[in-house]
Chains A and B, each alone.
Chain A
Amino acid sequence: MSLVITGLTVGYGARRIFSGLDLPEIRAGRVTALVGPNGAGKSTVLRAIAGGIAASGQVFWKENDLLRMDVRARSRIIGFMPQGLRDTPGLSVLDSVIASLRVFAPGLPMSACRGQALTALSRVGMIDLALRPLAQVSGGQRQLAGLAQSLVRDPAVLLLDEPTSALDLRHQTDVMGLLKGLAAEGRTIVTVLHDLSLAANWADEIIVLADGGVYAAGPARTVLTPDLFRSVYRVQACTGQAADGGTYVVVTGPLEPPP
C-alpha cells in the first residue's frame, strides 16, 4: 500500500505554491519526513491531502483519489495533526478526543468511546492531563492532544505538521518513537520536520521540498549531503555519526554573510 501524489496544484488565492507537483511514492509501514526551508510548502502539501485547502491533481490511496472524496470519507482514512491547536475554553483534553471519535463513530456507546479516548491519550503520554482544559495545557501538550484526537480514529494514514516543534527532547523522542511504532503497525506516516537530526534518526525516507518541487528524496544518508545544505538551506553544514550509531547535523555557518 502506498500514497501516490501526482500533479498536485495548490495555492493561496492567486499565489501558486505548487503547480503539478509529483511526490515519490510514500509507502505504508514507514515514516516519511517532509523537510525543506521555510515557505517551501511542506505544511501546504499536508493540508491539501487532508482537505484543509482546495487542491487539484491526484492523491491516490488504495485506488481511491482522496482529493475527490467527501470530507467525511477522507477523514476516515487520514488523520491530520496540525501544527498548532487552539486553546478552546472549557473543553477538556479527554472530551476533545471523545468528540473526535464520536463524530467518526456516532453509534459507539459512550463508555467504549471514553475507553478508546483514554487509550489514545495513554499512548501519547497525556493520560495524567486528560481532565485538564485544552486552554490550560502547554502548546506541546496541546499538540499531543491533537495527535490523540487523530489516533483515536485508528487512521491508515497519519499526517503530522511539525509534531515535535513545541516539545522538549524527551517528548520529541517519545513522539518519534510512537510514530515508528505506528508505522510498524502498517500505517503510513508522513511528518513535516524542521529538525534534520530528528529526521535523519527516525525517518525511513526523507523528501526535500524546495523551489516548488522535490529537490531530493531517499534515505537520510543519501539525501542529507553538504551540497543539499548549501543549495537548499544556504548554510555550511555536515552530518556526523554519534558513538551510538545515531546521526547528527551540525551547521557551521551561513553560506554567505547575512545582508
Chain B
Amino acid sequence: MNAGGQADAAVMQAIAGHDRLIRRRLAVIGGLACLVLAGVVLDMGTGPAGVSLREVVEILSFRHSGDTALQVIVWQVRLPTALLAVLVGASLSLAGAEMQTILDNPLASPFTLGVSSAAAFGAALAIVMGITVPMVPKGVAVSVNAFVAAFASVLLIQLFARLRGSSSALVLFGIALVFGFNALVAVIQFVAPTDSLQQLVFWTMGSLSGADTASVTVLAVLLAATFPFSLRAAWPMTLLALGEERAQSLGVHPERLRFACLLRASLLASLAVACAGTIGFVGLIGPHVARLLVGQDHRYFLPSSLLAGAAILSFSSVVAKVILPGVLLPIGIVTSLVGLPCFIALLMMGRGGK
C-alpha cells in the first residue's frame, strides 16, 4: 500500500473507532436511564404501607379498581417521593458536574461550596427564629428560606469570583462559607428550644417526605429549562477541562462561561436542597461516576452525571425504606453512608478516569 493509501486507511480506522466510542457512550447513557427507571419502579414498590409492585403498576395504569386508600398512597406519596428522589439526585449531580468543570476541582459540589450549609442556615432561621420571607405561606416558608439563603450564598461566590478570578480561590471561599454557615447554624441550634431543634436536625438530615406535586413540578420545570443550556455549553466546557488559559486561547470566555454555569448550578442545587434538605455526596459522587464511565466529553458527561445522580438517590431512597424494617431513615444519612465507601473506592482507584 502506498503512503496515501495508508493514510486513508488510518483515517477510516479512526472514524470507525470513533463511531464505536460514541456508540459505547450512548449505550452507557441508555444503561443509566434504564437504571433510573428501575430505581423509580423499585422505589414505588417499597414502603411501609405494603402496596405491592403489581398494585402500583395497576394504579398507575388506571387498571386498579379497588381500595381508594391505596390509590391515594401511590398517587400522593409513592409517586411524588420517587420522582423527587430522581429530580433531586439529577439536579444535585448536574450542579456538581458543572461546578467541578468550571472550578477545575474534582471536590467541588453544592455541598462543599457551602450551598447546602447556607440552605440549612436559611431553614434554621425559619424553623427556630421564625424569620421568613414576607408574604410566603407558612407551609413553604422553610423551603423558600432555604432557597433564598442558598442562592444568596452562590451570589456571594459569584461576587468573590468577580473580585478574585482564580478558581482555586473560589473553592477555598466556598469551603470558608461551609464553616461560616455551619457555625451560624450551630449558634441557632444552641439557643433553639427542644421541639424546633428536633425539626431543624431532621431537616438537615435530608428527607424526601415533603414530596408533593408542587415541589416535583417546580424542580422538573427548572431542570427541563436549564439542561438544554447545559448541553449547549458542553463544547466550551470540554475545552475548559483542558485548562483555563488553553480554553481562552481557543475562544472560550472563562468568566462568562463560569457565570452562566454557576447560575444554573446554583439554581438547581438551591431548589433541590430547599425541596429535600441537605443531601450530601450525590453532587460529588454522581459526576465522578459519570467521568469514570464516559470521560470528559461534556456532551456525554453532563447527561451521564444527571442520570447517575438520579439513580444514586433513587436507590438510596429504596435503601432508606428497607434498611431498618418499619423505619424510614432520612435519605441524607443513607447517601452519606453509601457515598462514603463509594468515594473512598473512587479515591483508591485514583486515576481510574484516565
A135 touching B14 in the complex, CB below 8 Å, given contacts A89-B296, A102-B235, A122-B7: no
Chain A residue contacts of B241, Cβ below 8 A = 88, 91
A52 touching B249 in the complex, CB below 8 Å, given contacts A87-B354, A118-B15: yes
Cα distance, A76 to B345, chains bound together (Å): 44
Contact B243 A86 (CB under 8 A): yes
Number of interface residues of B (CB under 8 A): 33
Contact B296 A88 (CB under 8 A): yes
In whole Å, how far is B320's beta carbon from the nearest beta carbon of chain A?
32
In whole Å, how far is B19's beta carbon from the nearest beta carbon of chain A?
10
Chain B residue contacts of A85, Cβ below 8 A = 242-243, 246
Contact A89 B235 (CB under 8 A): no
Contact B242 A127 (CB under 8 A): no
- A93 nearest CB neighbor, chain B only: B14
Contact A128 B10 (CB under 8 A): yes
Chain B residue contacts of A104, Cβ below 8 A = 250-251
Chain A residue contacts of B15, Cβ below 8 A = 114, 118
A32 at the interface (CB under 8 A from B): no
- B285-303 near A? 1/0 per residue, CB < 8 Å: 0000001101111000100
Contact A78 B239 (CB under 8 A): no
Number of interface residues of A (CB under 8 A): 47
Chain A residue contacts of B242, Cβ below 8 A = 85-86, 88, 91, 96, 134
B193 at the interface (CB under 8 A from A): no
Cα distance, A150 to B246, chains bound together (Å): 10
B253 at the interface (CB under 8 A from A): yes
Contact B297 A90 (CB under 8 A): yes
- B255 nearest CB neighbor, chain A only: A71
Contact B236 A103 (CB under 8 A): yes
In whole Å, how far is A140's beta carbon from the nearest beta carbon of chain B?
17
In whole Å, how far is B248's beta carbon from the nearest beta carbon of chain A?
6
Chain A residue contacts of B246, Cβ below 8 A = 82, 85-86, 146
A80 at the interface (CB under 8 A from B): yes
Contact B294 A71 (CB under 8 A): no
Cα distance, A28 to B18, chains bound together (Å): 36
A187 at the interface (CB under 8 A from B): no
B11 at the interface (CB under 8 A from A): yes
Cα distance, A23 to B67, chains bound together (Å): 86
Chain B residue contacts of A31, Cβ below 8 A = none
Contact A118 B11 (CB under 8 A): yes
In whole Å, how far is A1's beta carbon from the nearest beta carbon of chain B?
21
Residue in B7, B10, B249 whose beta carbon sits within 8 Å of that of A82 in the complex: B249
Cα distance, A90 to B246, chains bound together (Å): 17
Q: Which of B66-118 contact A (CB under 8 A)?
A: none
Cα distance, A96 to B239, chains bound together (Å): 7
In whole Å, how far is B311's beta carbon from the nearest beta carbon of chain A?
19
B252 at the interface (CB under 8 A from A): yes
Residue in B17, B21, B235, B353 whose beta carbon sits within 8 Å of that of A103 in the complex: B235
Contact A135 B354 (CB under 8 A): yes
Cα distance, A74 to B250, chains bound together (Å): 9
Cα distance, A78 to B241, chains bound together (Å): 20
Contact B235 A90 (CB under 8 A): no
Cα distance, A72 to B246, chains bound together (Å): 13
- A93-126 near B? 1/0 per residue, CB < 8 Å: 0111001101110100000001000100110000
Chain A residue contacts of B301, Cβ below 8 A = 90
Residue in B17, B18, B248, B353 whose beta carbon sits within 8 Å of that of A52 in the complex: B248
B58 at the interface (CB under 8 A from A): no
In whole Å, how far is A203's beta carbon from the nearest beta carbon of chain B?
22
Contact B238 A47 (CB under 8 A): no
Contact B243 A92 (CB under 8 A): no
Contact B10 A127 (CB under 8 A): yes
Chain B residue contacts of A114, Cβ below 8 A = 15, 18
- A50 nearest CB neighbor, chain B only: B249
Cα distance, A99 to B253, chains bound together (Å): 15
A91 touching B297 in the complex, CB below 8 Å, given contacts A103-B251, A118-B15, A127-B10: yes
Chain B residue contacts of A118, Cβ below 8 A = 11, 14-15
Give the residue among B243, B246, B301 with the most A Cβ atoms within 10 A. Answer: B246
A133 at the interface (CB under 8 A from B): yes
B351 at the interface (CB under 8 A from A): yes
A75 at the interface (CB under 8 A from B): yes
Cα distance, A103 to B249, chains bound together (Å): 11
Chain A residue contacts of B236, Cβ below 8 A = 103
- A122 nearest CB neighbor, chain B only: B7
Residue in A82, A94, A122 whose beta carbon sits within 8 Å of that of B18 in the complex: A94
In whole Å, how far is A89's beta carbon from the nearest beta carbon of chain B?
4
A94 touching B14 in the complex, CB below 8 Å, given contacts A72-B253, A86-B246, A103-B239: yes
Cα distance, A70 to B253, chains bound together (Å): 9
Cα distance, A121 to B14, chains bound together (Å): 11
Contact B353 A51 (CB under 8 A): no
Contact A90 B354 (CB under 8 A): yes
5 residue pairs of the A-B complex, CB under 8 angstroms, read: A75-B248, A78-B249, A90-B295, A96-B238, A103-B235
Please give the residue numbers on chain A whose beta carbons come within 8 Å of chain B beta carbons, in ascending order.
47, 50-52, 70-72, 74-76, 78-80, 82, 85-92, 94-96, 99-100, 102-104, 106, 114, 118, 121-122, 127-128, 130-131, 133-136, 146, 149-150, 153
Please give the residue numbers on chain B whose beta carbons come within 8 Å of chain A beta carbons, in ascending order.
7, 10-11, 14-15, 17-18, 21, 235-236, 238-239, 241-243, 245-246, 248-253, 291-292, 294-297, 301, 351, 353-354
Given A50-B248, A128-B10, A146-B246, 17 further pairs, Cβ under 8 A: A47-B245, A52-B248, A72-B251, A75-B249, A75-B250, A80-B249, A89-B295, A91-B241, A92-B18, A95-B238, A95-B297, A99-B297, A114-B18, A121-B14, A130-B17, A130-B18, A131-B21
